[in-house]
Structure 1
Amino acid sequence: MKRDIFLSELEILKGIAETLNEGTELKAVLGECLRKLLQLTSLEAGWIFLINQEGEYELVAAESLPPALTNPKHQALTQGDCWCVSRFRNGTLTKASNIMECKRLENARLGNWGDTYGLVYHATVPLKAGEEQFGLLNVAVANKEKFEAHELSILESIAYQIGTALKRIHLTMKEQDIKIVEERNRLARDLHDSVNQLLYSINVTSSAGIRLAKEQPIKEIMADIQRMSQHAQAEMKGLIWQLRPAGLEEGLACSVKKYGEMLGLEVDLSVEGISRLTTLQEETLWRIAQEAFHNALKHSGEHKVSVVLDYKQNTVVMTISDDGVGFDYAEGTFLPSMGLKGMEERVKCMDGKIIMNSKLGEGTTLKVELPIQQRGKC
């Protein structure tokens, strides 16, 4: 006798909707949504993949998985390929489907990676909102070979709810990012108009004091005040650049070159194509250039860097390189700088990628690629 795992469709949809409306932190929302789904149904296990435009997938939520799928040695759900992810990538997985032979479950079973709790088959549903697709919802029940048509239909409704919530979260985070940029700009203006002007006045006053003072000790005090004010002005200028790149209103390329020269670097800049970037994309590339310049100053032993901005039809590529001492770095490992690691996460949130190449004695190259028409996922 076949079992209907969905006893009350309206109750399930209502419960999922309430859960999705309660938060804005992406992974927390998806995890709670998956737990709620299993509580309201007879589903026994589930997991959610988010998949970016390059086809890279990330396991962002999992609930009640058997030991075979959580075995840290084999990482069944975080490594390798499978039918549902492959079909999502090539655009042929457009609706809820039965996966009759899950490669991940099959590998776990054949490899004796642990107990599978009787899970052999699962259903997979693309998470989407309109034309945008975000990933996959996979659910399973022990010894259940096939989900009926009405069960798949309900799963599609749930997946659509999740996809709509993901789009809402993306828009909310983008709005927050814009507000952060605006607040930094406000702080930069305030610092420039108040503190920076005050430091300039101290510098001018102390310079006058040096000329007018009759006694040498007073001249020395005034000279010390002038040196400290000049140092503070330089620090303030750097801080204002950090908060609000003064050249961005003139374009990313101008801003990058000016900042490098302010640090004492010789910047060989090349621009190909026409810029069509959003404010957040320019901000991201600007911050990465800052970090790369500082690393070059500290570690390369060179004061000359090359920057190439290549605006293609669908992507922008920024390449920063130096001919310095370099270091041993294996592609795919963690980026060596915490600042660059943070930028790597930000780039991935915008469906981009960041690649570093470096060898001892052969310099360092940092390459960042962002889609011009992007849909950030974080």
Structure 2
Amino acid sequence: MKETDHSDISLLKEIAELLNEETEVKPMLQLAMKKLLDGTNFETGWIFFIKDRRRHELIAHENLPDTLAQDSCRYLCKGGCWCLSKYHNNELEKASNIIECQRIDLANKNLEQQISNITHHATVPLQSGDEKFGLLNVASPNTVRFSDDDLALLESVAFQLGSAIKRILLTKQEQEMALVQERNRLARDLHDSVNQLLFSVTLTSRAGAEMSDEPLIKETFTEIQSLTQEALTEMRALIWQLRPKGLESGLLEAIKGYADMLGLHLDLKVSGVLQFSSKIEESLFRIAQEALNNIRKHSGTKDAQMILRVTQSDILLVIKDEGRGFSFDPAIALPSMGLQSMRDRTEALGGKIDWVSDIGKGTEILIRMPY
């Protein structure tokens, strides 16, 4: 075991200073884990974020033995265990010794020709008030039980981590609200100024075409009217992107409304229960927006199909058309910022996006993300 280089108070002070400087959850937890291990007799540690009974995420780990690190931390990422079960049943309220760990046991049995001296671990929930985020687990070689002092220190660190996680999440929520408010302001400004001016130009050019008997002048006014109407449609689409109407009535209504606004006929097929977080819902809407915009601008068709299927583990979104299609090499950069935006939004939620398209054969977009 390592000798403790700092007093508990000094260590907690160092961790608190570190937490106050960080603004992203994952890097913060990784650095805090390293600081904890460097300043105590704990040898290794890992942190789970827990969403529900079906899903937990290994969000940070430090100095894992080969048994736990094998196969990309397979035994930590998959399956259930005692500490997760106790967590879900609200039976884990403070730092506790885990007498038998199914994950460590399975990992030790499945690494050939090597036996780990890590067999047990301690666990403590990460929470702030009544809001729970996950578990902090630590272990040491040849240690089956940690002292009350070790567990008390672990609880203090967990309290610090829970408070820091809550602070970062609240800060991000405030930033998102500020961004929404700014989008709404821009949308109102565009609607009240540029949108109204374009509408006035459309009416004026129509009147000019009707008043003139000169073919060339009439043709010019008609062309102005057509271009202005196109600009008006683009402006309305931009306003929708800034402030999506209909999301308060649900994702499907918002997508249908946007397709109608673009003049597209959308064949929509849905299966599964649609109960998305606001972040996933807006991301799906933005992705659908971009896909429908591309269909209107580039496909040469007014018909589109969308399939949304939700299972217990993932979300599948398919958007396709039978238009002119396009050709691209997936190994190089995407041909437009719109397609790159769709990829970025999908990957930000841990998903994957693929395009199937060719000249004259339409386009199909396939998006799969965890649920």
The verdict on a shared fold, with TM-score over 0.5 as the criterion, is yes
Contact 1:74 1:113 in 2 (8 A): no
Please say if residues 256 and 286 of structure 1, whose CA atoms lie closer than 8 Å, have aligned partners that are also in contact: no
Q: Decide whether aligned partners of structure 1 residues 24 and 73 sit closer, same or farther in structure 2, where only a CA change above 3 A counts.
A: closer
Normalised by the size of structure 1, how large is the TM-score? 0.71
Q: 1:342 aligns with which of 342, 345, 350?
A: 345
8 Å Cα contact 1:289/1:320 also seen in 2: no
Aligned to 1:234: 233
Task: Please say if residues 209 and 219 of structure 1, whose CA atoms lie closer than 8 Å, have aligned partners that are also in contact.
Answer: yes
Question: Hey, what's the Cα distance between the residues in 1 that align with 2:113 and 2:178?
Answer: 48
Q: 1:340 to 1:222 in 2, by over 3 A?
A: same
Question: What letter matches 2:27 in structure 1?
Answer: A
Give, in angstroms, the shift of residue 169 of structure 1.
1.3
TM-aligned CA distance change 1:4 to 1:154, over 3 Å: farther
Q: Report the aligned-residue RMSD.
A: 4.4
Identity among equivalent pairs (%): 41
Q: Which amino acid aligns with 2:21?
A: E
TM-score, normalised to structure 2, is 0.72
Partner of 1:43: 42
Alignment of 1:1-378 (within 5 A): 7-72=6-71, 75-112=74-111, 118-213=117-212, 215-247=214-246, 258-263=257-262, 264-265=264-265, 285=281, 288-289=284-285, 291-292=287-288, 339=342, 342=345
User: Structure 2: how far apart are the matches of 1:126 and 1:27?
Assistant: 17
Please tell me the residue identity of whatever aligns with 1:178: M
- Contact persistence 2:290–2:342 (CA under 8 A): no
Kindly tell me: are residues 210 and 116 of structure 1, through their superposed partners in 2, closer, same or farther at Cα, counting changes over 3 Å? farther
Bigger Cα displacement from structure 2, 36-45 vs 132-141: 36-45
Find the residue that maps to 2:71 and give its secondary structure: coil
The alpha carbon displacement at 1:223 in A equals 2.1
Which moves more between the two structures, 100-109 or 127-136? Answer: 100-109
Change in 2 beyond 3 A, CA 1:78/1:286: closer
Residue aligned with 1:138, SS: strand
Cα distance in 2 for partners of 1:287, 1:73 equals 29
Residue of structure 2 in register with 1:331 after alignment: none
Match of 2:74, SS state, is coil
Spell out, residue by residue over 1:13-60, the C-alpha distance to the aligned partner (whole angstroms, 9 max, x if none): 111111111112111111111111122223221111110134511011
**Runs of at least 5 residues in structure 2 that lack an aligned partner in the other structure:** 270-274, 309-314, 323-339, 351-366
For residue 342 of structure 1, what is the amino acid of its counterpart?
A: R
In 2, Cα distance between equivalents of 1:64 and 1:319: 36
CA distance in 1, matches of 2:268, 2:103: 49
- CA offset at residue 251 of structure 1? 8.4
- Kept after mapping to 1: 8 A contact 2:266/2:303: no
Are 1:83 and 1:102, in contact at CA under 8 Å, matched by a contact in 2? yes
Larger displacement relative to structure 2 (164-173 or 37-46): 37-46
- Measure how far apart 1:137 and its partner are: 0.6
**What amino acid is aligned across from residue 182 of structure 2 in structure 1?**
E
Q: Is the 8 A contact 1:66 1:115 kept in 2?
A: no
Moved more, 255-264 or 178-187: 255-264
Q: Which amino acid aligns with 2:11?
A: I
Counterpart of 2:345, as a letter, is G
Question: Which structure is richer in relative contact order (CA contacts within 8 A, separation 6 or more)?
Answer: 1
Residue type at the aligned position of 1:173: K
Residues 1:68 and 1:367: Cα distance change in structure 2 (over 3 Å): closer
- How many pairs are equivalent? 328
Instruction: Report the AA paired with residue 78 of structure 1.
Output: C
